[in-house]
């Protein structure tokens, strides 16, 4: 809606850029209307851009965390299934005795531990997101920049979230270490078969 001069008085009517609702002003109509619209657009643009970038980065971080959890669970779970199939095939063909297959038990333990750690990693990732949301919801909100202010409660939630985040990373690395140790153990067990 464009600004219109009222014939009865010196007021100017213009539409809000968001809602289109008419807004009236009496002081320096052209200047007030133009400044108000420019300031409002600028504030909305800045707030929307910051919120959009932060939201996109957060969504990307969550997707990457989900992918990491799936990856470590898949490699350890897949290794467990393949090891069981390999051992079953060896025992089924009668090429080795069951006593010789004991070396594979350590490998199976490593891979199963990797699966368990990846499940714990998923739980820590959930608690990390829960604490971040808890911190954001406990911030003081107002209409002046920076719009959100840290409170003691929001800071506590943020600290707990950081602890869970570190724990998720540590358990993810632990799951990868379990996979590597399991592969070394499989190699050792195969060498001892021959």
What is the DSSP secondary structure assignment for residue 151, as one 8-state letter? -
More confident position, 1 or 146: 146
Parent domain of 63: 4-193
More confident position, 59 or 173: 173
Whole-model pTM: value is 0.67
DSSP string covering 89-133? HHHHHTSS-GGGGGHHHHHHHHHHHHHHHHHHHHHHHHHHHHHHH
Token pair 């950081």 is found at: 162
Specify the pLDDT at position 62. Answer: 83
Q: In 21-180, which ranges are E strands?
A: 22-25, 140-141, 148-149
Domain count, the chain: 1
Q: How many Cα atoms are found within 13 Å in the side-chain-facing hemisphere of 158?
A: 11
CA–CA gap between residue 172 and residue 72 (Å, rounded): 7
């Amino acid at each position: 809606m464009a600004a219109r001069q009222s014939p009865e008085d010196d007021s100017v009517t213009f539409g809000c850029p968001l809602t289109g609702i008419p807004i009236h002003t009496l002081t320096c109509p052209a200047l007030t209307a133009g400044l108000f619209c420019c300031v409002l657009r600028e504030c909305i643009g800045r707030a929307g851009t910051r919120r959009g970038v932060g939201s996109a980065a957060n969504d990307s971080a969550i997707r990457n965390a989900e992918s990491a959890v799936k990856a470590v669970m898949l490699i350890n779970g897949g290794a467990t299934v393949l090891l069981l199939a390999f051992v079953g095939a060896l025992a089924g063909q009668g090429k080795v005795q069951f006593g010789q297959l004991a070396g594979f038990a350590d490998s199976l333990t490593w891979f199963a531990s990797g699966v368990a750690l990846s499940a714990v990693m998923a739980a820590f990732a959930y608690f990390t997101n829960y604490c971040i949301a808890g911190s954001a919801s406990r911030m003081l909100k107002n209409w002046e920049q920076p719009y959100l202010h840290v409170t003691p409660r929001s800071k506590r939630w943020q600290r707990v979230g950081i602890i869970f985040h570190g724990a998720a990373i540590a358990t993810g690395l632990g799951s990868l270490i379990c996979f590597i140790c399991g592969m070394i153990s499989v190699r050792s067990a195969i060498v001892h078969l021959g």
